[in-house]
Amino acid sequence: MKKLLSLGWITAVAFILGSILLGSQLDDYSMISQTVSEIGEKGSPLYVPWQIFSIGIGLLFFLFSMAMIGFARKHKLSIIPGIFLAFYGLSQFGIGWFPSPHPLHNVFGLSMTLGYLSPLMFALFFRNRMGKTFKMISITAFLLVALAIFLNLTPAFAPDLYSLEYYGIVQRFLLFTFFLYCALLSLKAIDYATDAAK
**Which pLDDT does position 181 carry in this prediction?**
98
C-alpha closest to that of 96 among 145, 140, 58, 62: 58
| DSSP codes, 75-127 | TT--SHHHHHHHHHHHHHHHHHHS-TTSHHHHHHHHHHHHHHTHHHHHHHHTT
**Which pLDDT does position 103 carry in this prediction?**
87
14 pLDDT band (50/70/90 cuts)?
very high
pLDDT in tens, 143-156: 999 999 998 888 76
**Which pLDDT does position 164 carry in this prediction?**
80
Predicted confidence (pLDDT) at residue 83 exceeds the cutoff of 80: yes
- Helix, strand, coil percentages for the chain (3-state, nearest 5): 80, 0, 20
Percent of the chain exceeding pLDDT 90 equals 73
Of 35-49, 62-76, 81-95, the least confident: 35-49
Predicted confidence (pLDDT) at residue 138 exceeds the cutoff of 90: yes
162, 151 Cβ separation under 8 angstroms = yes
137, 120 Cβ separation under 8 angstroms = no
- For residues 191 and 75, what is the distance between their CA atoms, to the nearest angstrom? 13
pTM of the predicted protein model:
0.93
- For residues 54 and 92, what is the distance between their CA atoms, to the nearest angstrom? 7
**Which pLDDT does position 196 carry in this prediction?**
81
**Which pLDDT does position 109 carry in this prediction?**
87
**Which pLDDT does position 152 carry in this prediction?**
86
